[in-house]
Amino acid sequence: MADNLDDDSQCRIKEGDYVVLKRGGIFKAVQIQLKKKVIFEKQWFFLDNAVGHLYSTAFEIAACGSLSLSFFVRSLCVSADVKEAGTDNRNIVDDGKSQKLTRDDIETLKEQGLKGQEIIQQLIDNSSTFKDKTEYAQDKYIKKKKKKYENIVTILKPSCRILAMMYHGREPSKICHLRYDALAQMLTLANIHAGSKVLVFETCSGLVLGSVMERMGGYGSVIQMYPGGDPLRPGVQSFGFPAHFHDMLHEFPISRVNALLAGTLDTTGKDPSAACLLKKSILAFNQRFSVLILFISSFQAQERKVKLEEKRKRMAAAAALLEGRNADGLIIASRFHPCPVLLGLLKFLSPSRPFVIYSQYKEPLIECYTKLKEHGGTVSLRLTDTWLRHYQVLPNRTHPMLLMSGGGGYILSGTTVSTDGPKATGPQRADKPAPKRLKLTDTDR
């Protein structure tokens, strides 16, 4: 009984949860905070009434900004019992005079508290050309008005597919134009599963890193190789992982990889810059400044020193995992050229382990393919591109969508092998060929 209650609580919206708002084909990730105004698609509302409801519940936005449960009506019908429709649209003239309701009338209906579906029904009843349109044109008209007047928002639970669709639809450049079907192929080709040790180098706002953590389910180790001073992963926060998921996440700067491979990385000594930071900040102030400002500066320098010490400990923990060189997988998806990163990180993988590299362009991956062939140590190299097409499935009008993504990037995948050959047990003569197998004869006949 307790397990059922726990499962039910995971499916319900709680205060502090990270959720994804959906309206039509547009998504936005927000956090549930009481009495905080949320702006989505030029509308503002509060998420207080959503707490306690199940995920994937649709809400209607009221005029005061509060949310109320929405009950979908699959199709609007005209006043007549039988839906009337014309045979063609050749006699319909779009002169703007077919609609009797004016803009002021519609605003009055909104002030009276009419919902979106009721306003759409009023527009249909007051349209002089609606009955003359074909059935397809009527459905298109209703769909267009629904998009404009129905204020329905669906609250979804974050997942790698939903967040990938959100980023690709709003800001594709932040994720290197990575589409959700390419992301799914990367996770499959890299054999991401619970209990494995995975290296991730990405500049996709943490989308790839969060997807790997989601598939591993909080078990195993994920080592993020990051460029620059600190790791940037804003997308991981949008997943809303529990606290124990972050215990499996480690971070290591990509600039220290060569030192780690050479055995010259110092993870035990303190950072000299942290030791001198307090002294430099105090000396930077002139004597004419007050003692209060000097005290605040020294306090901030002390906080920086503590943060640098925590960063050093995290780097030491990640270095300890990398020193074994027994990682189970490697994923690279960044805006940088992947070739030098790939050749450096492949040395941390065990033999017979998969690796996947994503790039928006094929030329960097072709160079990686050539380098891997020259260096050896890899097999089953494949360079593929992903292609996805959406279809409209409706009665008598099923066809591909007119607007779709032109490409989903390119993926290079392969498997590592051991380059050390088997050692010979005794001296062998090169001029003497190996003995041939004797052909067995049937002696029973």
- Tens of pLDDT along the chain (445 residues) come to 445 555 677 889 999 999 999 988 889 999 999 989 998 888 888 999 899 999 999 998 877 788 888 765 444 444 444 467 777 777 777 777 788 888 888 888 877 777 777 888 888 888 878 888 888 888 888 888 887 777 889 999 999 999 999 999 888 999 999 999 999 999 999 999 999 999 999 999 999 999 999 999 999 999 999 998 888 888 999 999 998 999 999 999 999 898 898 888 877 655 444 444 444 444 554 444 454 454 556 667 777 877 888 888 888 888 889 988 999 999 999 999 999 999 999 999 999 999 999 999 999 999 999 999 999 999 999 999 988 888 988 888 888 888 877 778 999 999 999 877 555 444 555 455 556 666 656 555 4
Identify the H or E element spanning 31: strand 26-31
CB-based burial label for 163 (10 Å; 0-12, 13-18, 19+): buried
Quick check: helix, strand or coil at residue 95? coil
C-alpha span between 56 and 274 (Å, rounded): 48
Tokens (6 digits) for 435: 């003995």
Third-level CATH fold of 167-263+324-416: Rossmann fold (3.40.50)
> 357 and 332 in contact (C-beta within 8 Å)?
yes
What's the alpha-carbon Rg for the chain, to the nearest Å?
Answer: 31
> 204 and 174 in contact (C-beta within 8 Å)?
yes
